[in-house]
């Protein structure tokens, strides 16, 4: 049976990023060709990935929307081929804010939806997730990718992100999405200054306390370079692993990363330490 549930027997899940785009901030163009994307998906499976998140539209700061037809051309053949070749234990996720793209992806073998707008961009997204009974990741974002980093403002970023995600949970429930199929992502880098990202990492336990699985996507993001000697995105593996360990220690359920094996090891160490902590 293909994975269609968020909560598994394992203490955490590793979500591998598969950008079928020419312009993603870290690996744009590397997996635009279908054959390269499928090969990378298979390689992530060999490294122990739990979910492969496939996207055909970059959501980096400054990115412009990609037409639905283009997104489908980029992701649907990849999803079909991966579903035929990967183990049934591995879930496929579609990273899109378009219900039409999500529907095509589900028909091609995807069984999760990852929506960076938390269902706000397309009014059909939440009903689609409900109708198919699939997990949906609701991510916090201030603004649109094209302008979200121009001047993001918060008085208390952790409290405001929690409140806005709670409101999107209410919308999902009203649309018929089952509570057990909802996950929350604080949206690091999506309409946040560097200090907002650090505050959200420090406040992960407050997000976890909302009662839904939390997805953390810090992998290779620019704010990590500010404390890593200005390293390029591809050189931020160790910094990303640090956020993975912090996330697991705080109770994060899903780690969305580019580098599967190293982050799986970091998560396993953090989980072992968490389990060994004395009861309070």
- Contact, 108 vs 72, CB < 8 A? no
Sign of the CA dihedral 144, 148, 153, 157?
positive
- Residue 11 to residue 17: CA distance in whole angstroms: 20
- Residue 230 to residue 253: CA distance in whole angstroms: 29
Instruction: Centre a 10 Å sphere on the Cβ of residue 227 and count the other Cβ atoms it contains.
Output: 12
- Residue 218 to residue 241: CA distance in whole angstroms: 9
* Backbone angles phi and psi of 229, in degrees to 5: 60, 30
Tokens linked to 141: 């974002």
* Backbone angles phi and psi of 147, in degrees to 5: -130, 5
**Catalytic center residues:** 221, 256
* Nearest residue to 248 via CA among 185, 211, 204: 204
- Helix, strand, or coil (residue 257): strand
Write out the H or E segment, with its range, that includes residue 169. helix 157-174
The Cα angle at residue 32 between residues 91 and 57, in degrees rounded to 5: 70
């Amino acid at each position: 049976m293909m994975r269609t549930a968020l909560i598994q027997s394992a203490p955490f899940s590793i979500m591998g990023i598969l950008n079928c785009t020419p312009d993603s901030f870290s690996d744009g163009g590397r997996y635009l060709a279908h054959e390269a994307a499928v090969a990378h998906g298979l390689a992530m499976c060999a490294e122990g990935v739990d979910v492969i998140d496939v996207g055909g539209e970059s959501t980096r700061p400054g990115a412009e929307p990609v037409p639905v037809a283009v997104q489908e051309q980029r992701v649907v053949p990849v999803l079909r081929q991966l579903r035929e070749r990967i183990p049934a234990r591995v879930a496929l996720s579609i990273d899109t804010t378009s219900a039409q793209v999500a529907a095509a992806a589900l028909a091609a073998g995807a069984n999760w939806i990852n929506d960076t707008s938390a269902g706000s961009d397309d009014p059909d997204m939440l009903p689609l997730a409900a109708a198919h009974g699939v997990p949906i990741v609701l991510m916090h974002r201030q603004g649109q990718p094209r302008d979200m980093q121009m001047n993001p403002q918060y008085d208390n970023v952790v409290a405001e992100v929690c409140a806005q995600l709670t409101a999107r949970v209410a919308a999902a429930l009203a649309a018929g999405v089952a509570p057990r199929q909802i996950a929350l992502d604080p949206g690091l880098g999506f309409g946040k200054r560097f200090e907002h990202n650090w505050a959200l990492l420090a406040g992960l336990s407050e997000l976890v306390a909302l009662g839904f699985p939390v997805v953390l996507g810090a992998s290779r993001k620019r704010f990590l370079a500010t404390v890593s000697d200005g390293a390029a995105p591809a050189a931020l593996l160790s910094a990303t692993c640090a956020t993975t360990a912090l996330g697991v220690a705080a109770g994060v359920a899903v780690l969305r990363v580019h580098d599967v094996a190293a982050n799986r090891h970091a998560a396993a160490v953090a989980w072992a330490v968490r389990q060994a902590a004395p009861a309070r």
